[in-house]
A and B are shown apart, each in its own frame.
Chain A
Amino acid sequence: MMMTGKRLVISALVLALAQIGFLSWIIAGRAAILRSGKEVLLKIEPVDPRDLLRGDYIILGYDISRIPVKMIANIPAGKFSSDDTSIVVRLKKGADGYWTPTTAWFGKAPAPAAADEADIAGHVAEGWDLRGEGMTIAPDYGIERFYLPEGEGMAIQSDMRVRPFAIRLALANDGTAQIKALVDGDKTLFEEPLY
């Protein structure tokens, strides 16, 4: 019944390596997106200041955080509200260097993005109203937080209210987004190292 000492130590070793391996795999996946993903620049919208700073991260809002329902190309006829589903938003580079959304699809994009375009994958919760022209839905893309070293949040929070900030993203082929840098005008504030 009792595990012998040697076997216990071996299973502990295997367990530790499995957990470390799992964590390393996540890190490697994220670093791969940073290294080889397609780079896009997104304007950050001013978020309600009270919500801006929670602990040591700031909450980010993007243009693509609100997608007008009429931008979604594949809503089935007679559909009243959204399912719990994935969404793909196609971005196009504008003259000012910032990328903006052009079209969106529930599920997958029907055709690959052109050279000056990029797809970002997000997630829509259940129950957004899809009827009516003026409706918008709010997908999330896993990039809505920016963690800062302790104590540096307040300065950036007040700066964000007076001038526009942007986020540089790396996008994997499947649309997974990874934050690369926080940009203040032309100046890069925080550039993320690979690891």
Chain B
Amino acid sequence: MAGYSTRVRSDIARWLQAGLIDAATADALTRDVEVNTRKSLSFGSILAMMAALLFGAAILIFVAANWDAIPRLARVAALFAIILGGYVGGAVLKARDHAAIGEALWIVAAAAFGGSIALIGQMYHLSGDEASALVTWGAGTALAAVALRSNPLTVASVGIADAWLFLKGFGYYSRSAFPHAFVGMAIVLFAVSFWTRSQAARHLIILSLLCYLVLLAGNHATLPVAIPLAIVSAALFAASVFAPEPVDRIVQLGGRLPLHALLGFLTGLAIIQFELADESTYNSGFGIASVVALAGIVAAIVLAGRESRGLRWLAYLGFAFELAMLYVVTLQSMLDTAGFFLAAAVLLGILAIIIIRVEKRMKDPATGGAAA
């Protein structure tokens, strides 16, 4: 990354000398490059964050061990000291331009807050389930993200909300209600992510919402969830492809909304197909859903495939899934094992030909455009 920014800076200097741009533009460009390089993850900041996560895990496991050699009031005091020292120390370091270490200390402090909740539960034998402790922890972490305007803390609170969703959603506690409140959490955290400028958190929230909808479809009604999901995803895809700039100015996902929308669309249709697969012999619902899915994949590649390699590969993955699905539902009963291998070979061959052709097409005009 540093290599890129140095190169751009020397390019800017050259353009300025050649009279291609004026001094003000050159200055603005240089500043933009600087800001964006600082945002990108460096190796050091990744290591600092990993160290913080390990430290946080150590705190939580230490609490779980319930080691009685240290009086528990001392354990509480130690955790409170880590909370105070982590937040304030992190802020001091961040203010002195050690942003990576500062953010890492904040993560440690947030872990200490979670550890304190667990320790208090242990001290007073509170038997409320872990899910409600997670809610308190997540709320405290989101508050910290807002107060400190921290990207990693925002991602951490989304992660805690996800843990809550899966703990509740997979029925870990037999008699607990379905975690509908996750939608509310997701909306709040999405709003928080704009204030904390956390694009990563927004991506994670959208993926988590998709997981929530899949859980919802599995727990409640499939079609009333899956059909709106596919329609809304298609609409979002259209909006983000035909008006990319205004849409990305609103959601600020770095232009990756089409990718999320395609994933949502394919997920919705997959749910519909699974639901209708059993009745495929006597009504056309499955066939229609399959045609819509395939048409959607082709449309996605035609409309947005050129801009995004990730989107193309997601589309191929969806296409492979559709082929497998069609095969399993329509042909399986007629063929034996040898037939299955033959069919798999043919299907993979078709897939390979299509991917090669599309990739070639996408490449040719693109290189032509750069040359022109």
Contact = CB atoms under 8 A, between A and B. Distances in A.
B43 interface: no
B12 to A, nearest CB: 23
A11 B66 contact: no
Contacts of B346: none
B120 A149 contact: no
A72 interface: no
B109 A22 contact: no
B247 interface: no
A56 B66 contact: yes
Given A19-B113, A30-B124, A147-B122, A12 B88 contact: yes
B126 interface: yes
Interface string B187-207: 000000000000000000000
A5 to B, nearest CB: 3
Nearest to A4: B95
Size bin of chain B's contact surface? 35 or more
B95 A16 contact: no
A15 B66 contact: no
Interface in B112-132: 113, 116-117, 120, 122-128
Contacts of A22: 140
Given A8-B95, A143-B125, A147-B66, A15 B147 contact: yes
Interface in A1-59: 3-6, 8-9, 11-20, 22-23, 26-27, 30, 55-57
A133 B67 CA distance: 47
B65 interface: yes
Given A16-B109, A19-B140, A140-B127, A55 B91 contact: no
B125 A146 contact: yes
A142 B128 CA distance: 6
B84 interface: yes
A86 B338 CA distance: 61
Given A22-B140, A146-B125, A149-B66, A126 B177 contact: yes
Nearest to A27: B120
A26 B96 CA distance: 35
Contact of A149 (B68, B123, B127): B68
B123 to A, nearest CB: 8
B65 A12 contact: no
B13 interface: no
B117 A23 contact: yes
Interface of B: 64-68, 72-73, 76, 80, 83-84, 86-88, 90-92, 94-96, 109, 113, 116-117, 120, 122-128, 140, 143-144, 147-149, 175-177
15 contacts: A8-B91, A12-B88, A12-B147, A14-B147, A15-B148, A20-B83, A23-B80, A30-B123, A143-B127, A147-B125, A148-B66, A149-B67, A150-B65, A193-B72, A195-B123
Interface of A: 3-6, 8-9, 11-20, 22-23, 26-27, 30, 55-57, 84, 125-127, 140, 142-150, 178-179, 192-193, 195
5 residue pairs, one from A and one from B, having the closest CB atoms:
A5-B95, A12-B91, A145-B127, A144-B127, A149-B68
